[in-house]
Structure 1
């Protein structure tokens, strides 16, 4: 995996095996079906789904209730996206 490509699957839940604090600290953005999403709890590019929080409801363990949505998923690193847009503005 190169430094400019996010992983195939990533979760924000520390109990998940797909949790990676270093990548989350760097900042991963998600485009789902062409729209920017900010409430994504977990995603998988190869299977084409995201998990999003449903309001402020919690399950019996105190975790946010989530809903799985299917579609095209495009993850990207926010720091590299900011660098590209800054470069466009300078030209």
Structure 2
């Protein structure tokens, strides 16, 4: 174990519901100090903006579509959700 590994704090437990949007009530800054991965229906996804493990859904951008404020349009996909630290 190197000195940089010893100085790194342990990651907090992953919440059941998490969002990458800082204005969301489900945003947890301490979690994003570490790299988070999402496995949806057995495949790792890199475009997940929000997830809920207990309800079994993720929100992802719907292609290149944008709303009038310039934010990507989001769609909710239902299935098996697994969150982990990389």
The answer on whether the counterparts of 1:50 and 1:68 sit within 8 Å (CA) in structure 2 is yes
The structure with the largest helix share of the pair is 1
Q: Please, which of 1, 5, 9 is the counterpart of residue 17 of structure 2?
A: 9
Matched, 1:34 2:35: no
TM-score by length of 2: 0.80
- Structure 1, unaligned runs of 5 or more: 79-91
Structure 1 residue 64 displacement after superposition: 1.3
User: How many Å separate the matches in 2 of 1:25 and 1:64?
Assistant: 24
TM-score by length of 1: 0.76
